Amino acid sequence: PTILTAITDPEPTVRDAALEVLVARDPDAAYPVVCEHGHRDQPAELRVAVAKLLALLWPREPETLDLLTDLASHDEEVVSNTAREALALVQDWSALAAG
């Protein structure tokens, strides 16, 4: 519960650290939490972290492509650019796996 509380902390470094801990301790439990934070109105730094985590850890999960596609049209350039890069990475990995 403390980690889940820290993910919503107003301080970006606390949020990032909490996400890292959750992902490292229990990736399966972290996936829905990461997706939830990607859908919420979160600061750009957290959405950037979400995009990177989705592409690196869960490229084949069903919600990953949808969420990255949504983030790719985000108003903040750093979020949309990161999401587009993450989408390209996921698509490259999918092509490699298929080929």
| pLDDT-based confidence at residue 1 (cuts at 50, 70, 90) | low
Global confidence as pTM: 0.82
> Please, which residues have CB within 8 angstroms of residue 22's CB and are 6 or more apart in sequence?
3, 4, 7, 29, 30, 33
Q: Does residue 50 have a pLDDT over 70?
A: yes
- Provide mean pLDDT across the span 31-60: 88
| pLDDT-based confidence at residue 62 (cuts at 50, 70, 90) | confident
Percent of the chain at pLDDT exceeding 90: 45
